[in-house]
Amino acid sequence: MAADRVDETFLSSFAEKWLGGWNDHDADALIALCTEDVLWDDPALAAPERGHQAVRDYLAGTWAMFPDLAFTLPEPSMVGVEGPLAAQVWRMTGTMLGSDPWAGFAPTGKRIDVEGIDIYVFRDELVSHYRGRYDLAEVARQLGLAPARGSRPEQVLAFVQRTSMRIRRRA
């Protein structure tokens, strides 16, 4: 890997280790692939977090909530055109058997099956900035934490929201 660009050989090896760390629920393996000051940005977090301990806490919370969490890679990794970056499309499955450590939701026992993408910025062959991107609203729907699209509960929520906006405008 050149300092200013990721090569395919490096990325293939990295992707295999990254996937293995996630599927083995091995925080040490994933943290070993990150810089000490890694910036970790995931939609489940209120704000990006920094450093190995923050990543360790995030992983522990995620795996406690989804003890059977697993990933597959439906597409090969993609090398960034400019700069030391890459991306990886993934499919995530798991069952919510533990509490949500961030929002506090109780376990639902329901499964998720979602697609997303990771974006990695590298420094010295380690991830210095991780960005996970996926539809958190869809995850909430699959877990029963948000109403299904087009359902009666969703229509009621939309009605309440519209009504509250009309009341606000009058105030």
82-138 pLDDT tens trace: 889 999 999 999 999 999 999 999 999 999 999 999 999 999 999 999 999 999 999
Which of 99, 95, 75 has its CA nearest to residue 87? 75
pTM of the model: 0.88
Cβ–Cβ under 8 Å, residues 29 and 20:
yes
DSSP string, 33-61: TEEEEEEEE-TTSSS-EESHHHHHHHHHH
Judged against a pLDDT cut of 90, whether residue 5 lies above it is answered with: no
53-70 pLDDT tens trace: 999 999 999 999 999 999
